[in-house]
Amino acid sequence: MIIGILSIQGDFIEHKKALDSIGVDNIFVKYAEDLQNIDGLIIPGGESTTISRLAKKWGLFEGIKKFSRPIMGTCAGAILMAREVLNEFDEKEDTPFGLIDMVVKRNAFGRQIESFETTLNFNGKSFTGVFIRAPRILKLGEGVETLITYENSPVMVKQGNRIALTFHPELSPDAILIHEYFVSLIK
Ligand code: GLN
């Protein structure tokens, strides 16, 4: 099994470290051809507008939209997986890949200074959720399940073989259970 990590911008190196720590082979995805050889894709956190723009420029955008194997998007990656993205002024953006039927608002918790860490629970285990200029999931379509909530809003959701998380599991060692869960979706 090989997992591809979209390596246009953002914290793709931390995802590599997380996958290496559990012995999962991985490659950086930079070109459309790289999507052919992978069993799953991680879209990392970073700046969603930049990732989207460069994905278009580098010819990856359509390939990601059509990618049918499991995908995990974290923070900016989760934003990009949405059907609809709103910015802080509630204006629609044309950035997303449209991979999960949800509406997401960028930077919904405020500025960098409003970034925070909190304890989250998944499958009966607790771990540290790191939220950095995090988005908020505002609306979910019928086929989307909520897997983790924080203050009554969804922070990790799943539709089919795709998961989106508004936090950064690659930044806290105890959140490795999220990468392990993603690997289980591929197996
Ligand atoms: N605020 C960023 C965006 O809107 C996401 C931040 C992150 O990935 N940590 O794209």
The number of the ligand 1 atom at minimal distance from the alpha carbon of 45 is 8
Nearest CA to ligand 1 atom 2: 47
Per-residue pLDDT reduced to its tens digit, 12-44: 999 999 999 999 999 999 999 999 999 999 999
Neighbours of 128 (CB within 10 A): 16
CA distance 92 to 49: 12
Nearest CA to ligand 1 atom 5: 76
Here the tokens at position 6 are: 């979209």
Domain count, the chain: 1
Ligand 1 center to 77 CA (angstroms): 8
Ligand 1 center to 134 CA (angstroms): 6
- pLDDT class of 158 with cuts at 50, 70, 90: very high
The domain containing residue 106 runs over which residues?
2-186
CA 144 centroid distance within chain:
15
Average pLDDT over residues 100-121: 93
* Three-state SS at 79: helix
The whole-model pTM stands at: 0.97
Catalytic sites, residue numbers = 75, 168, 170
Average pLDDT over residues 101-111: 93
Per-residue pLDDT reduced to its tens digit, 82-104: 999 999 999 999 999 999 999 99
Q: Is 15 in the pocket of ligand 1 (CB under 6 A)?
A: no
Q: Is 95 in the pocket of ligand 1 (CB under 6 A)?
A: no
Q: Is 9 in the pocket of ligand 1 (CB under 6 A)?
A: no
Q: Is 47 in the pocket of ligand 1 (CB under 6 A)?
A: yes
> Which CATH number is 145's domain given?
3.40.50.880
